Amino acid sequence: MSNVTMDDIRPLMQGLAKRLDYIEQHPVLLGQAVGYAYAPYGGDGPPEVKELMRAGKTLEAIKRYREATGASLAQAQEYVNSL
Provide mean pLDDT across the span 55-75: 90
pTM over 0.75: no
SS3 state at 44: coil
Verify that 50 and 20 share a domain, yes or no.
no
Q: What is d(CA 24, CA 81) in angstroms, rounded to the nearest whole number?
A: 22
Domain check: are 20 and 60 in the same one? no
CB atoms within 10 A of CB 35: 7
Q: What is the pLDDT of residue 41?
A: 65
Do 62 and 28 sit in the same domain of this protein?
no
Instruction: Indicate if 22 and 62 belong to the same structural domain.
Output: no
Q: What is the pLDDT of residue 52?
A: 95
Query: Number of folded domains in the chain?
Result: 2
Q: Write out the residue range of the structural domain in which residue 59 sits.
A: 39-83
> Do 52 and 79 belong together in one domain?
yes
User: Do 77 and 52 lie in a common domain?
Assistant: yes
Say what the pLDDT of residue 39 is: 67
Asked whether residue 47 falls in the same domain as residue 71, the answer is: yes
Instruction: Read off the pLDDT of residues 10-64 as tens digits, 9 standing for 90 and up.
Output: 999 999 989 988 888 888 788 889 987 676 666 677 889 999 999 999 999 999 9
8 and 31 share one domain: yes
